[in-house]
């Protein structure tokens, strides 16, 4: 059927088009963001419920929401039973679409007979009014129809041989997605269908960008070969209607493709999986991570420069929906996915996590203090790095999934944001909000070019040059020049002991001020502009174990 509606009053809504250098992405799930009663909204789990939380997003300081799939999907598709509760599991994340043009009906508070379209538009209009862009996580690499034994829901009944990549027997599907089927994305008919859907969401629904799930699949031909100049990817980048929207690739797939740093044209930004892994490993204290860590905070020139992209090509993240939350990253040494019904075999084992002495929740004050410090280290690193930062919704108040790193089937308290955490962990929320404000106040941190040798200088704790080849080196400092009078001095200590860092001398008339020290307790760990205390000793600064510090000269 086709749903039509009368004119919608956009109230002079226009695309925001925030530059990448001023973009901070907040990834969240429409339902999970507000479904708990303690979200304190009138319309929990809906587009309207998300609208009610816009003041919170403004207070935090993000500029874009990246919404997990809102295309229509079957959330009741049950892969099994939760062995811990005996209840059916369901498709919570939504990465199994059945209709590329339809907003998810169950996310509407007003009903699913066309009201979902109006309510989605109202949400976009309200977010734009608050200067927040809307980026959709879209799935064009497969559908909910599964393998040859799956249900007939959409494309199989339209033209199976055109819409899917088939094996030689024309019955079985080639599976580059891990879901049982693969969309034949570069067939002209399929390509036109995908482009029409993207244009629809931009023109009719006013969205500002797209994050493409398993985007490497979209670069394969009908035989499965990765194309050097995939027609679909080039058309998305060059389409006149799409030319000003943000396009982000998850630049890998389930069949071994990994194209981080080399994905398609320069317009494409990419989820930088190497940023996530290298930053995690540095703060865990792994050997040989010094050079990689330095490169990641500078925008990953070693990954992107050869392809002609700048730092804006890198979507930097520590956590995302797929994997541990930030709290769980510092609280669990291994995944705990038993509730998913697959005997804990699902989900990645490459977490690069550290429980700091106890697996899961603990009352040990020392362990809790170290976990909190590490959370702040990760947040600080993310928000001083060149590139585009992405936060996972709830990390700013220590959301936990109980160690589950693959909660795709958990439409339950495991996945839903628990807003009680905002009250319990005001210190982490304050730190996150403060670091976002610090990033805005110092645009040198988010410039859309790689640092030059005159803009940044590197030091070891003694004030000499770092030994990049030393596998045991896990302390680093850098001096970043903002202008002739202002500079930032950043120090990082991933070691288990406190270390004295030599602080560089300044021009006459300027003094070092303490802006951030993650080893300190709130509210003395981060100072607002104009409140930073002067350093008593301007020659050295002692960094606590596993901590980071920012000094400000002006």
H/E stretch holding 58: helix 54-60
Q: Among 137, 175, 213, 277, which one carries the catalytic annotation?
A: 213
Rounded-to-integer distance, Cα 417 and Cα 40, Å: 12
Rounded-to-integer distance, Cα 341 and Cα 84, Å: 9
My answer on whether omega of the bond before 523 falls inside 30° of 0, hence cis, is yes
Coil, helix or strand at residue 383: helix
Coil, helix or strand at residue 410: coil
DSSP 27: E
DSSP assignment string, 162-224 = HHB-B-TTSSSBP-SSSSS--B-TTSHHHHHHHHHHHHHHHHTT---EEEETTGGGGGB-TTS
CB contact at 8 A, 266 and 307: yes
Helices 155-163 & 188-203 angle (0-180, nearest 10): 130
Residues in Cβ contact with 258 at an 8 Å cutoff, skipping those fewer than 6 apart: 216, 251, 252, 273
Q: Among 145, 250, 322, 395, which one carries the catalytic annotation?
A: 250
CB contact at 8 A, 309 and 265: no
13: how many CB neighbours lie within 10 A of its CB? 16
Rounded-to-integer distance, Cα 289 and Cα 207, Å: 39
Short-list 138, 108, 112, CA closest to 122:
108
CB contact at 8 A, 329 and 394: no
> 66 catalytic, yes or no?
no
Short-list 244, 245, 241, CA closest to 203:
241
Q: What is the phi/psi pair of residue 103, to 5°?
A: -65, 150
CB contact at 8 A, 551 and 489: yes
What does each C-alpha distance from 452 to 294, 437, 466, 483, 516 come to in angstroms? 14, 25, 17, 13, 25
CA 32: distance to chain centroid? 16
> 208 catalytic, yes or no?
no
What does each C-alpha distance from 442 to 21, 449, 486 come to in angstroms? 11, 15, 10
Rounded-to-integer distance, Cα 33 and Cα 535, Å: 41
> Which residues are tagged catalytic?
213, 250
């Amino acid at each position: 059927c086709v749903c039509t509606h009368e004119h919608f009053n956009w109230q002079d809504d226009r695309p925001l088009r925030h530059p990448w250098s001023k973009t901070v992405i907040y990834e969240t799930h429409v339902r999970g963001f507000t479904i708990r009663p303690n979200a304190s909204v009138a319309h929990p789990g809906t587009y309207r419920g998300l609208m009610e939380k816009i003041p919170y997003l403004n207070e935090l300081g993000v500029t874009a929401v990246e919404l997990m799939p809102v295309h229509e999907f079957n959330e009741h598709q049950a892969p099994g039973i939760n062995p811990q509760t005996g209840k059916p599991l369901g498709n919570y994340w939504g990465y199994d679409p059945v209709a590329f043009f339809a907003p998810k009906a169950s996310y509407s508070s007003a009903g699913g007979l066309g009201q979902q379209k109006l309510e989605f538009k109202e949400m976009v209009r309200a977010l734009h009014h608050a200067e927040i862009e809307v980026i959709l996580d879209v799935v064009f690499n497969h559908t909910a129809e599964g393998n040859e034994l799956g249900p007939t829901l959409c494309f199989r009944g339209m033209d199976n041989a055109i819409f899917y990549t088939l094996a030689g027997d024309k019955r079985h599907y080639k599976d580059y997605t891990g879901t049982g089927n693969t969309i034949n994305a570069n067939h002209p008919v399929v390509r036109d269908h995908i482009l029409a859907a993207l244009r629809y969401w931009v023109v009719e629904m006013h969205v500002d960008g797209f994050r493409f799930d398993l985007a490497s699949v979209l670069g394969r031909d009908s035989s499965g070969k990765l194309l050097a100049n995939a027609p679909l990817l080039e058309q998305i980048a060059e389409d006149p209607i799409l030319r000003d929207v943000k396009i982000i690739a998850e630049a890998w797939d389930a069949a071994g493709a990994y194209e981080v740093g080399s994905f398609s044209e320069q317009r494409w930004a990419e989820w930088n999986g190497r940023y996530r892994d290298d930053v995690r490993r540095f703060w865990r204290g792994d050997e040989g991570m010094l050079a990689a860590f330095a490169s990641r905070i500078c925008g990953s020139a070693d990954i992107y420069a050869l392809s002609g992209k700048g730092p804006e090509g890198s979507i930097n993240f520590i956590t995302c929906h797929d994997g541990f939350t930030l709290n769980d990253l510092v609280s669990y040494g291994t995944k705990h996915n038993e509730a998913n019904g697959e005997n804990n075999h699902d989900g990645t084992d490459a977490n690069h996590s550290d429980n700091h002495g106890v697996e899961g929740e603990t009352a040990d004050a020392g362990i809790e203090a170290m976990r909190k410090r590490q959370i702040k280290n990760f947040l600080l690193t993310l928000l001083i790095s060149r590139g585009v930062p992405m936060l996972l919704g709830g990390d700013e108040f220590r959301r936990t999934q109980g160690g589950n790193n693959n909660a795709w089937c958990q439409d339950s308290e495991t996945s839903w944001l628990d807003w009680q955490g905002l009250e319990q962990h005001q210190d982490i929320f304050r730190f996150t909000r403060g670091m976002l404000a610090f990033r805005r106040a110092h645009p040198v941190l988010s410039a859309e070019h790689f640092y030059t040798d005159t803009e940044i200088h590197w030091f070891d704790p003694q004030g000499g040059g770092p030994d990049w080849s030393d596998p045991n080196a896990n302390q680093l400092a850098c001096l970043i020049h903002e202008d002739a009078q202002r500079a930032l001095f950043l120090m990082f200590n991933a070691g288990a002991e406190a270390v004295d860092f030599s602080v560089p001398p300044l021009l006459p008339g300027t003094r070092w001020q303490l802006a951030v020290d993650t080893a300190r307790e709130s509210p003395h760990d981060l100072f607002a502009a104009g409140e930073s205390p002067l350093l008593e000793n301007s020659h050295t600064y002692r960094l606590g174990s596993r901590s980071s510090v920012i000094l400000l000269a002006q």
